[in-house]
């Protein structure tokens, strides 16, 4: 049977139909080209800058899986030089040139790809900018650098005709950048929601499962190499906000706008919130959410109640997970280790292999996430206008009429109550805790009602609020 071959032209809206398969033979040959074992043909040289947790693992995985990696790339990939202030005890550097001056690596004319694993936005930024100016491709795991300076970095890279690849910057070992850029390329993305900070998820999971102390779990996450140098980045949602803007830039073809993300951390979550949520059929996760609403985009990071039946609600420990809803494909879930040395190294090396393939086949380099010029004015939605359901927890005097005062205020604000629960006061106590789950409501309306509730004489302290998303 013959299948007609279609060539689509968006500008003319004409469809050319051919029954001649020879027209496509070149495509099939190049798409299914495989490596024939002769790695002497072309060699791609790597300059590895930074030999910390991720750098040392990248080096070791490259050495350990050298044959597989070169075979998949279709060329020989070698670490030609390492730039690091000190050696790493886990790395055998005998067969590689090591320089204490990172810029010596960046300026090394033999090197094709600079792998920036220094972190931060000072020296790392200089390294990346100079590598681009020197005409080198760059692989980086640096989410802060891409989120805060990516627009300029991509523009410089485009001018120089080099590639910037940053798979490892988001969700550790999960190939989420490739999923967005390649696998979901056909879709108009409606929303994405992700657990994109492993440390935060590790902390919430340990609190939920073992009732462990927040600070104690954080120390363990630091010892395991999950946490950022400054762990407030993990706890206060800064790290997740960095990752969210990177995902949103790809999903919605928009510039990186890190400073516009609404960010709320997990330090306000108490074990009792996790327990109440559980009783109501929810798990609490720290989510990064990007959603298209009409012509505008919401960008927010905050703790969120998710129905326990959702797969993402059951992603625990240091694991990350991202749900992406495309108009054609529907919701898809990507899950895996979101932090840690080797998972991150896995993503770094995937980018190296990608670029090595390009170089060795002399194809055009590609610049991820450029191409947003015509939609760069897409407005960001103010958090005041964002609609979600809410979990509210408040301490009340255990006397008649209090519950109805709360529900009256909510109902006067047009907010309905989906679920409500009151705990019995402890022995000898007069205060009880009330938990309410509302319907979806704009934040500004919710805050108006909460302010009124907080003025009631029978209420003690503030109303504790956590957003709820059905992710359906």
What residues are labeled active site? 243
Specify the DSSP element, H or E, that contains 232: helix 232-235
Do residues 375 and 253 make contact, with C-beta atoms less than 8 angstroms apart?
A: yes
Question: In whole angstroms, how close is the CB of 226 to ligand HSE at the nearest point?
Answer: 5
Of the listed pieces 18-26, 132-140, 194-202, 460-468, which binds ligand HSE according to CB under 6 A? 194-202
Among 226, 252, 262, 276, binds ligand HSE (CB under 6 A): 226
Q: Which of 116, 228, 264, 433 binds ligand HSE (CB under 6 A)?
A: 228
3-state secondary structure of 68: helix
Q: Are strands 137-140 and 164-165 parallel, antiparallel or unpaired?
A: parallel
Quote the CA–CA distance of 249 and 370 in Å, as a whole number.
Answer: 9
Cβ–Cβ < 8 Å for 407, 438: no
Rounded CA-CA distance 317/112 in Å is 37
Give the residue ranges of DSSP H helices in 161-231: 176-178, 198-210, 214-223
Q: What is the DSSP letter of 249?
A: H
76 binds ligand HSE (CB under 6 A): no
User: Distance between CA atoms of 61 and 76, rounded to whole angstroms?
Assistant: 15
- Which region among 195-203, 359-367, 380-388, 431-439 touches ligand HSE (by CB under 6 A)? 195-203
Rank residues 176 and 323 by Cβ distance to ligand HSE and give the closer one: 176
Nearest distance in Å: CB 50, ligand HSE: 15
When the beta carbons of 163 and 197 are compared against ligand HSE, the nearer one is: 197
* Closest distance to ligand HSE from the beta carbon of 181 (Å): 19
From 227, 269, 287, 321, residue interacting with ligand HSE (rule: CB under 6 A): 227
Contacts of 284 (CB under 8 A, 6+ apart): 204, 208, 269, 273, 274, 277, 303, 304, 305, 306, 466
* Stretch touching ligand HSE by CB under 6 A, among 13-21, 37-45, 197-205, 287-295: 197-205
Check residue 288 for interaction with ligand HSE (CB under 6 A): no
- Per CB under 6 A, 53 contacts ligand HSE: no
Minimum Å distance from CB 329 to ligand HSE?
A: 26
Chain positions 331 to 390 lying near ligand HSE, rule: CB under 6 A, are 338-339
Segment contacting ligand HSE by CB under 6 A, of 206-214, 220-228, 401-409, 441-449: 220-228
What DSSP string describes 7-42?
EE-TTT--EEEE--THHHHHHHHHHT----S-TTS-
- The residues that touch ligand HSE, with contacts defined as CB under 6 A, are 172, 197-199, 226-228, 234, 239, 338-339
């Amino acid at each position: 049977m013959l299948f007609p071959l279609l060539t689509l032209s968006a500008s003319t809206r004409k469809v050319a139909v051919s029954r001649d398969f020879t027209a496509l033979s070149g495509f099939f040959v190049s798409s299914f080209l495989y490596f024939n074992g002769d790695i002497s043909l072309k060699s791609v040289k790597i300059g590895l800058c930074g030999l910390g947790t991720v750098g040392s693992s990248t080096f070791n995985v490259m050495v350990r899986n050298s044959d597989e990696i070169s075979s998949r790339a279709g060329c020989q990939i070698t670490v030609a030089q390492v730039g690091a202030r000190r050696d790493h005890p886990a790395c055998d550097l005998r067969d590689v040139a090591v320089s204490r001056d990172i810029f010596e690596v960046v300026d090394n004319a033999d090197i094709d790809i600079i792998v920036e694993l220094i972190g931060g936005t000072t020296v790392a930024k200089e390294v990346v900018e100079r590598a681009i100016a020197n005409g080198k491709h760059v692989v980086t795991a640096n989410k802060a650098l891409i989120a805060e300076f990516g627009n300029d970095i991509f523009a410089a890279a485009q001018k120089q005709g080099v590639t910037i690849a940053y798979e490892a910057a988001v969700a550790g070992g999960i190939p989420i950048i490739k999923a967005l850029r390649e696998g979901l390329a056909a879709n108009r993305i409606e929303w994405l929601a992700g657990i994109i900070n492993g440390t935060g998820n590790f902390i919430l999971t340990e609190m939920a499962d073992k009732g462990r102390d927040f600070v104690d779990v954080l120390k363990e996450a630091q010892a395991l190499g999950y946490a950022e140098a400054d762990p407030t980045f993990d706890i206060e949602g800064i790290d997740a906000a960095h990752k969210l803007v990177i995902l949103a830039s790809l999903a919605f073809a928009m510039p990186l706008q890190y400073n516009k993300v609404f960010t709320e951390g997990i330090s306000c979550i108490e074990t009792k919130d996790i327990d109440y949520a559980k009783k109501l059929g929810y798990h609490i996760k720290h989510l990064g959410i990007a959603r298209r609403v009409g012509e505008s985009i919401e960008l927010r990071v905050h703790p969120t109640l998710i129905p326990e039946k959702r797969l993402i609600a059951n992603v625990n420990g240091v694991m990350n997970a991202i749900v992406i809803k495309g108009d054609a494909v529907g919701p898809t879930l990507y899950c895996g280790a979101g932090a840690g040395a080797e998972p991150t190294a896995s993503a770094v090396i995937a980018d190296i292999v990608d670029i090595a393939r390009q170089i060795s086949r002399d194809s055009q380099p590609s610049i991820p996430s450029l191409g947003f010029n015509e939609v760069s004015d897409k407005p960001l939605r103010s958090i005041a206008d964002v609609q979600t359901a809410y979990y509210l927890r408040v301490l009340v005097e255990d006397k008649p009429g209090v519950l109805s005062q709360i529900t009256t205020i909510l109902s006067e604000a047009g907010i309905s109550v989906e679920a409500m629960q009151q705990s019995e006061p402890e022995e000898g106590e007069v205060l009880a805790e009330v938990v309410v789950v509302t319907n979806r409501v704009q934040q500004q309306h919710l805050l108006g009602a909460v302010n009124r509730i907080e003025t009631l004489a029978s209420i003690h302290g503030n109303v504790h609020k956590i957003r709820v998303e059905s992710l359906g």
